[in-house]
């Protein structure tokens, strides 16, 4: 394997992947979390369900061998309920399919070889408590670019930690509105916080992102290292609105103002051979008045969001002292 010897517990898997793909690069770019192979074998012998993100991957699974272990395999990409859920939520079938997999087979082996959004959904589900037996993630390989509309930089910071842990992302794009403190830092190497400016992408109106300290620490304070993995973009309200109108007119995809920042930065910053994913902030109905004014049409509110909006807002008065907050948490 090109002079590389994987650990004994990984060797059979690495050889099989190379044999299947004829790609010797897998000898060096396959990553295993501790005891992953052991847990996979244990799950298979326990009759685990394997859920794939494509029917092609499903077809490649040896069904008789899996059946001998009491296991089954499935793919929800062609499922009518998944198609309807994706249309209702305005998302991809891969996202809806993995959400259904989490509901119906919470302890399954999840095999993703094509859809980056499927992997991102699995990561979100794990943060919410999902515990799959195993996650196999190939996605689009190392050419994946994730563009994040960024204000306080919490989401992109989580992505940067994920990349450091082995997530196959080549680079990130941090898209700002007029609160472009991070963008200016990338250009100059000088971090200069300032009072925030109100924009139509208001969740990104942050003049001194608290997560910048985490980003700086993650890269050892190196501006060069940060700039090598994160590029930036910044847009005015007029540019954000223009993007929303154009995408709605051309593709009939309704962006929220924050997502418009992400989409535009990705469209302008993606390089040949790269595969890009941009993140949204919320359903456009959350910014109903602003969005309707921009596109000149009414925004339909999904049933689930309508039900949420009818809920009662609850709040608890509390002092700013940490001791009071701790006391509340200890007795909640």
Active site residues: 19
Beta strand 144-149 with 171-176 is: parallel
Distance CA 231, CA 240 (A): 19
Q: Whole-angstrom distance between the N-terminal and C-terminal Cα of the chain?
A: 56
Residue pair 98/79 in contact by the 8 Å Cβ criterion: no
Alpha helices in 169-287 (DSSP H): 181-188, 212-218, 223-229, 237-251, 257-269
Closest CA to 17 of 165, 170, 138: 138
Which among 54, 56, 33 is positioned nearest to 133, based on CA atoms? Answer: 33
Residue with tokens 């930036």: 232
CA 272 remoteness from chain centre: 21
What is the H or E stretch that residue 302 is in?
A: none
């Amino acid at each position: 394997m090109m002079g590389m010897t994987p650990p004994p517990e990984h060797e059979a898997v690495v050889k099989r992947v190379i044999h299947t793909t004829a790609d010797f690069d897998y000898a060096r770019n396959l990553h295993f979390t501790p005891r992953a192979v052991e847990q996979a074998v244990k799950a298979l012998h326990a009759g685990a369900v394997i859920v794939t993100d494509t029917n092609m991957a499903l077809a490649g699974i040896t069904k008789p061998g899996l059946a001998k272990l009491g296991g089954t395999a499935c793919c929800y990409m062609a499922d009518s309920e998944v198609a309807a859920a994706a249309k209702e939520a305005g998302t991809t079938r891969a996202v809806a399919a993995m959400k259904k997999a989490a509901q119906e087979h919470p302890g399954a082996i999840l095999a993703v070889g094509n859809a980056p959004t499927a992997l991102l959904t699995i990561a979100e589900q794990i943060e919410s408590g999902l515990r799959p037996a195993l996650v196999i993630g190939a996605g689009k390989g190392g050419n994946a670019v994730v563009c994040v509309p960024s204000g306080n930089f919490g989401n992109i910071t989580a992505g940067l930690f994920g990349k450091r842990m082995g997530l196959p992302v080549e680079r990130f794009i941090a898209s700002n509105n007029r609160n472009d403190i991070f963008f200016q830092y990338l250009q100059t190497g000088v971090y200069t916080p300032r009072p925030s400016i109100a924009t139509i992408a208001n969740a990104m109106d942050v003049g001194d992102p608290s997560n910048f300290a985490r980003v700086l620490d993650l890269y050892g304070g190196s501006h060069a290292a940060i700039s090598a993995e994160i590029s930036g973009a910044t847009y005015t309200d007029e540019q954000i609105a223009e993007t929303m109108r154009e995408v709605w007119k051309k593709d009939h995809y309704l962006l929220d103002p924050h997502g418009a920042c992400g989409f535009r930065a990705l469209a302008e910053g993606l390089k040949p051979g790269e595969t890009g994913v941009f993140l949204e902030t919320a359903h456009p109905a959350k910014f109903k008045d602003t969005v309707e004014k921009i596109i000149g049409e009414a925004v339909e509110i999904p049933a689930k969001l309508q039900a949420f909006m009818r809920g009662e807002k609850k709040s608890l008065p509390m002092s700013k002292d940490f001791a009071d907050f701790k006391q509340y948490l200890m007795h909640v």
